Chains A and B, each alone.
Chain A
């Protein structure tokens, strides 16, 4: 059919090759183009949970305790702070994806309630380490109380704080600030005020941080 003429055939194949090349190119562009707004992310405020060196390079994470991806970044961030804790300040902000993670908000409240007794980061660590244990449970809060007891917290105060308006407001404020900064998935990291593409492993993460530090 197309090989009526040799040149007709050549054009057919040229057209096909061109189509394939343009398609693959278009797909690569589509995938690497960052379409979500990039911030700016809200500055550190009094109520933020932070650790590391103050007044230095800031790494903000918007995270969901029930999100498996967030759990996989937890050890990376931890290692990052071991290596760069003297020069980087890490900020954790809540962004529970409640539509797909029914226990996420409750876990966020638990972390903040533990924070009221000075143990935010300990509870944060436990929640990620034990994520598989409590994620699917309908009685997850009971497990959170167990973790609280294990941390030596005052259980009555913990339970009260978990239900408090103040804690709920903090979590909601975090979510709002995340939405303003263009957070649409978790975890979302903002390094030096700008959203970064989630690094695919520790080496990439470390490279991003050390490059930002040398600026």
Chain B
């Protein structure tokens, strides 16, 4: 088979999930290895990344995000390599979870903390793009099965 369906979408998801991985990993590494607390000139980032909402059961959210993005990345990469549709579908369902978390964190930043962190907003963007792509895959796949 020389061509698989959803090829463009898959490459798009591969690139975007990698960008999300870069962003989340940077925050996660900074959390574990970066220097201790400071008040820099960018108030938002510190406030958000040191808030109580930046951890879930002691695990920094950035690490969870990093794991999420790299998982999506690998599922999509596996699809591109093997053509197994189930892998792409799984990745697409995962983007729903990612998007839901994005909405939650946007809500926290906007209404609870009233502070925004630019890295978190970047992740919101990649997560949303992945969701749009994933939803597109699920929608088209459903139509193909019915049609």
Chain A residues with a Cβ under 8 A of chain B:
1-4, 9, 12-13, 16, 19-20, 23-24, 27-28, 30-32, 64, 67-70, 72-73, 97, 99-101, 184-188, 197-201, 204
**Chain A residues with CB under 8 A of B81:** 1-3, 9, 12-13
Assess the A24–B25 pair: CB atoms within 8 A: yes
Tell yes or no: B91 within 8 A of A by CB: no
**Interface 0/1 of B1-26, CB less than 8 Å to A:** 11110010000000000100110011
Tell yes or no: B33 within 8 A of A by CB: yes
Tell yes or no: B40 within 8 A of A by CB: yes
Q: CA separation between A28 and B7, bound complex, in Å? A: 32
CB distance from A215 to the nearest CB of B (A): 22
24 interchain pairs, CB-CB under 8 A: A1-B1, A1-B3, A1-B4, A1-B7, A1-B81, A2-B80, A3-B83, A20-B21, A20-B70, A23-B22, A27-B29, A28-B33, A31-B26, A31-B30, A31-B34, A72-B37, A97-B41, A100-B43, A185-B38, A185-B41, A187-B38, A198-B36, A198-B38, A201-B36
Tell yes or no: B146 within 8 A of A by CB: no
Beyond A12-B81, A198-B37, list 19 extra A-B contacts (CB 8 Å).
A1-B83, A2-B81, A19-B18, A20-B21, A23-B22, A24-B25, A27-B26, A28-B33, A30-B26, A31-B26, A69-B36, A69-B37, A69-B38, A70-B39, A100-B39, A197-B35, A199-B36, A200-B35, A201-B36
| Chain A residue with the shortest CB-CB distance to B38 | A185
**Chain A residues with CB under 8 A of B35:** 197-198, 200
Q: CA separation between A67 and B46, bound complex, in Å? A: 11
Q: Choose from B1, B4, B7, B36 the contact partner of A197 (Cβ within 8 Å).
A: B36
**Chain B residues with CB under 8 A of A188:** 38
Assess the B39–A68 pair: CB atoms within 8 A: yes
CB distance from B40 to the nearest CB of A (A): 4
A-B contact count (CB 8 A): 84
Chain B residues with a Cβ under 8 A of chain A:
1-4, 7, 18, 21-22, 25-26, 29-30, 33-41, 43, 46, 70, 77, 80-83
CB distance from B48 to the nearest CB of A (A): 13
Looking at A2, A24, A31, A200, which has the most chain B CB atoms within 10 Å of its CB? Answer: A31
CB distance from A17 to the nearest CB of B (A): 10
**Chain B residues with CB under 8 A of A64:** 39
Q: Choose from B18, B39, B70, B77 the contact partner of A185 (Cβ within 8 Å).
A: B39
Assess the B29–A200 pair: CB atoms within 8 A: no
Looking at A30, A185, A199, A201, which has the most chain B CB atoms within 10 Å of its CB? Answer: A185
**Chain A residues with CB under 8 A of B82:** 3, 9
CB distance from B10 to the nearest CB of A (A): 9
**Chain A residues with CB under 8 A of B36:** 69, 197-201, 204
Q: Choose from B7, B41, B77 the contact partner of A99 (Cβ within 8 Å).
A: B41
Assess the B39–A97 pair: CB atoms within 8 A: yes
Q: CA separation between A199 and B41, bound complex, in Å? A: 20
Assess the A27–B46 pair: CB atoms within 8 A: no
Q: CA separation between A11 and B133, bound complex, in Å? A: 26
Q: CA separation between A24 and B33, bound complex, in Å? A: 13
CB distance from B22 to the nearest CB of A (A): 6
Assess the A69–B39 pair: CB atoms within 8 A: yes
**Chain B residues with CB under 8 A of A199:** 36
CB distance from A68 to the nearest CB of B (A): 7
